[in-house]
Amino acid sequence: MAGPVSLNFASAPGLLGAYLRILLTRKPLLAAESVPRIVATLSGFRVDRRHLARYRAICGERESEALPIAYPHVLATPVHLAMIASDAFPLSLMGVVHIANRIALSRPLRIDDTGEIRAILDGHRDTPRGQELDLNTEVRVGGEVVWSETCTLLARRRGRRGPPRTGGAHGAGVAVPPPETVRTQIFAVDPGTGRRYARVSGDFNPIHVADLAARWFGFKHAIAHGMWSLARCVAALGAEAISPSCALDTAFKLPIAFPARVILESWSSPEGLRFALRDSASERGHLIGLIRPTP
């Protein structure tokens, strides 16, 4: 098993070089040994207001001095790709899917905040569906962890192409509320969403940008990025849904295939604000989430 690896960047690493290494380096679909500890640090980040405005536009966010809660994931994407493109990362990115996400916010991040981004990969879990990996990221401002995230990724076993399946529109273990307590919003998702979000986020996974490429991985059409779906939901819920200190947990279920018409349902629960996104013509669930205030 390879030893720990440290990657250090004074500025955001380039995306083109990372993608070329990912595409040209042959790696197995699953790791033969445990994924080694990989730590990557971007010692300085600064928000580009024009880039932020493009992100807000594609995700439906309103202008504010506070950054959208999922935006730091985009700031960290060049660091994440550099880790995955490194020789130390032992498996292929192609076909890996994002199945769950957790964001913790200790205070709102603001446009003028600057600081450090640190990301860690360390080991994996073998499951019947494949291998799960947790990609942990921290944003530090003045030495304080202000924002943190755990992305759970699934490298699928051979023969398990297409989306991982989970049951129910609202998810197992989630109590379905009475209809009169549910707030409902409907919005359309046009075919260009994947390409526009890819240009903003830097995530050019082919399953999101072209039908032909998506079919090779078992999808009938190109599908929406999970993090776009999450960001669009949070934007629709409104700024009041995000407390100054909160946790946002999301489970990604079946992906949104372009074009689509989706329903966002939200309701209050003892744990916090729950929400679910599903297809408007079926009980096909796309994601479920929970936003809860933290001390």
Residue range 58-117, pLDDT digits in tens: 999 999 999 999 999 999 999 999 999 999 999 998 768 899 999 999 999 999 999 999
pTM (2 decimals)?
0.92
Residue range 159-195, pLDDT digits in tens: 655 445 444 555 555 666 778 899 999 999 998 999 9
Report the top-level CATH class of 5-293: alpha beta
Residue 212 CA to residue 195 CA, distance in Å, equals: 14
Kindly tell me if the per-residue pLDDT of 13 is higher than 50: yes
Dihedral pair phi/psi, residue 54, rounded to 5°: -65, -40
Q: What is the mean pLDDT of residues 23-41?
A: 94
Phi-psi region of 142 (alpha: psi -120 to 50; beta: other; left: phi over 0): left
In whole numbers, what is the pLDDT of the chain averaged over residues? 92
HEC string of 231-290 equals: HHHHHHHCHHHCCCCEEEEEEECCCCECCEEEEEEEEEECCEEEEEEEECCCCCEEEEEE
Domain extents in the chain: 5-293
pLDDT reported for residue 167 = 45
Q: What is the mean pLDDT of residues 236-263?
A: 95
Kindly tell me if the per-residue pLDDT of 1 is higher than 60: no
Q: What is the mean pLDDT of residues 15-29?
A: 94
